Protein backbone atom coordinates (compact mmCIF):
# COMPACT_ATOMS: atom_id res chain seq x y z
CA UNK A 1 0.00 0.00 0.00
CA UNK A 2 1.47 3.41 -0.97
CA UNK A 3 2.27 5.82 1.80
CA UNK A 4 0.29 8.99 2.32
CA UNK A 5 3.27 11.01 1.15
CA UNK A 6 3.51 9.06 -2.12
CA UNK A 7 -0.19 9.62 -2.76
CA UNK A 8 0.17 13.34 -2.11
CA UNK A 9 3.17 13.53 -4.43
CA UNK A 10 1.23 11.74 -7.18
CA UNK A 11 -1.68 14.11 -6.64
CA UNK A 12 0.58 17.15 -6.98
CA UNK A 13 2.19 15.71 -10.10
CA UNK A 14 -1.23 14.97 -11.60
CA UNK A 15 -2.52 18.46 -10.82
CA UNK A 16 0.65 20.02 -12.25
CA UNK A 17 0.38 17.98 -15.45
CA UNK A 18 -3.29 18.90 -15.87
CA UNK A 19 -2.41 22.57 -15.32
CA UNK A 20 0.36 22.28 -17.90
CA UNK A 21 -2.25 21.22 -20.45
CA UNK A 22 -5.16 23.44 -19.37
CA UNK A 23 -3.44 26.81 -18.96
CA UNK A 24 -2.15 27.18 -22.55
CA UNK A 25 -5.59 26.22 -23.88
CA UNK A 26 -7.30 28.86 -21.76
CA UNK A 27 -4.70 31.54 -22.57
CA UNK A 28 -4.89 30.79 -26.31
CA UNK A 29 -8.69 30.92 -26.33
CA UNK A 30 -8.78 34.19 -24.42
CA UNK A 31 -6.05 35.84 -26.49
CA UNK A 32 -7.89 34.92 -29.67
CA UNK A 33 -11.08 36.32 -28.17
CA UNK A 34 -9.25 39.55 -27.24
CA UNK A 35 -7.77 39.82 -30.74
CA UNK A 36 -11.15 39.23 -32.41
CA UNK A 37 -13.04 41.67 -30.20
CA UNK A 38 -13.84 44.95 -31.83
CA UNK A 39 -12.97 48.26 -30.16
CA UNK A 40 -16.39 48.00 -28.59
CA UNK A 41 -16.57 44.38 -27.33
CA UNK A 42 -19.85 42.51 -27.28
CA UNK A 43 -21.64 41.85 -23.99
CA UNK A 44 -20.46 38.24 -24.11
CA UNK A 45 -16.84 39.33 -24.59
CA UNK A 46 -17.09 41.89 -21.77
CA UNK A 47 -18.41 39.20 -19.43
CA UNK A 48 -15.54 36.87 -20.37
CA UNK A 49 -12.93 39.62 -19.94
CA UNK A 50 -14.36 40.55 -16.55
CA UNK A 51 -14.46 36.89 -15.52
CA UNK A 52 -10.75 36.52 -16.38
CA UNK A 53 -9.59 38.95 -13.73
CA UNK A 54 -12.21 38.07 -11.10
CA UNK A 55 -11.51 34.35 -11.16
CA UNK A 56 -7.74 34.84 -10.99
CA UNK A 57 -8.08 37.08 -7.95
CA UNK A 58 -10.48 34.64 -6.29
CA UNK A 59 -8.33 31.57 -7.00
CA UNK A 60 -5.08 33.16 -5.82
CA UNK A 61 -6.61 34.65 -2.68
CA UNK A 62 -8.18 31.28 -1.82
CA UNK A 63 -4.85 29.62 -2.56
CA UNK A 64 -2.93 31.97 -0.28
CA UNK A 65 -5.51 31.62 2.50
CA UNK A 66 -5.50 27.81 2.30
CA UNK A 67 -1.69 27.70 2.24
CA UNK A 68 -1.45 30.01 5.27
CA UNK A 69 -3.93 27.91 7.25
CA UNK A 70 -2.16 24.66 6.32
CA UNK A 71 1.25 26.17 7.12
CA UNK A 72 -0.04 27.26 10.54
CA UNK A 73 -1.37 23.73 11.20
CA UNK A 74 1.94 22.23 10.11
CA UNK A 75 3.88 24.64 12.33
CA UNK A 76 1.76 23.69 15.33
CA UNK A 77 2.21 19.98 14.65
CA UNK A 78 5.97 20.33 14.14
CA UNK A 79 6.35 22.46 17.27
CA UNK A 80 4.39 19.87 19.25
CA UNK A 81 6.54 17.04 17.93
CA UNK A 82 9.74 18.91 18.80
CA UNK A 83 8.63 19.95 22.29
CA UNK A 84 6.80 16.79 23.39
CA UNK A 85 10.01 14.84 24.22
CA UNK A 86 11.00 17.59 26.69
CA UNK A 87 7.85 16.91 28.73
CA UNK A 88 7.82 13.19 28.15
CA UNK A 89 11.49 12.10 28.10
CA UNK A 90 10.47 8.47 27.56
CA UNK A 91 9.05 9.48 24.18
CA UNK A 92 11.94 9.31 21.73
CA UNK A 93 11.52 10.63 18.20
CA UNK A 94 13.47 9.15 15.36
CA UNK A 95 15.10 11.79 13.13
CA UNK A 96 13.57 10.12 10.09
CA UNK A 97 10.08 10.60 11.56
CA UNK A 98 10.68 14.34 11.87
CA UNK A 99 11.94 14.57 8.28
CA UNK A 100 8.92 12.62 7.07
CA UNK A 101 6.61 14.90 9.03
CA UNK A 102 8.25 17.96 7.48
CA UNK A 103 8.04 16.54 3.95
CA UNK A 104 4.39 15.70 4.45
CA UNK A 105 3.74 19.22 5.74
CA UNK A 106 5.35 20.76 2.66
CA UNK A 107 3.29 18.53 0.34
CA UNK A 108 0.12 19.47 2.24
CA UNK A 109 0.85 23.20 1.92
CA UNK A 110 1.65 22.86 -1.79
CA UNK A 111 -1.47 20.79 -2.39
CA UNK A 112 -3.67 23.34 -0.64
CA UNK A 113 -2.14 26.14 -2.69
CA UNK A 114 -2.39 24.40 -6.03
CA UNK A 115 -5.95 23.08 -5.64
CA UNK A 116 -7.94 26.33 -6.26
CA UNK A 117 -5.77 27.34 -9.23
CA UNK A 118 -6.05 23.82 -10.67
CA UNK A 119 -9.81 23.72 -10.17
CA UNK A 120 -10.34 27.03 -11.97
CA UNK A 121 -7.96 26.40 -14.86
CA UNK A 122 -9.25 22.90 -15.62
CA UNK A 123 -12.87 24.08 -15.41
CA UNK A 124 -12.10 26.97 -17.78
CA UNK A 125 -10.37 24.68 -20.24
CA UNK A 126 -13.43 22.42 -20.31
CA UNK A 127 -15.86 25.33 -20.61
CA UNK A 128 -13.89 27.23 -23.25
CA UNK A 129 -13.23 24.09 -25.33
CA UNK A 130 -16.93 24.11 -26.24
CA UNK A 131 -17.31 27.89 -26.60
CA UNK A 132 -17.59 29.65 -29.91
CA UNK A 133 -15.97 32.98 -30.59
CA UNK A 134 -18.93 34.67 -32.26
Dist CA 41 CA 133 (whole Å): 12
Domain ranges of the chain: 22-35+42-129
Helix (H, G, I), strand (E, B) or coil at 134: coil
The per-residue pLDDT for 91 is: 73
The per-residue pLDDT for 133 is: 63
What's the pTM? 0.77
The per-residue pLDDT for 63 is: 96
CB of 71 within 8 A of CB of 112? no
- Mean pLDDT taken over the chain: 87
What is the DSSP track for 62-78?
Answer: HHHHHHHHHHHHHHHHH
Dist CA 76 CA 70 (whole Å): 10
CB of 32 within 8 A of CB of 134? no
Amino acid sequence: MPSSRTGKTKSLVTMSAQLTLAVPQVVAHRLIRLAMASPVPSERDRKEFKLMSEEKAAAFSESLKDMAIEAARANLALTRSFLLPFWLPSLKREPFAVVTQMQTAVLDVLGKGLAPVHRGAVANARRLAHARFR
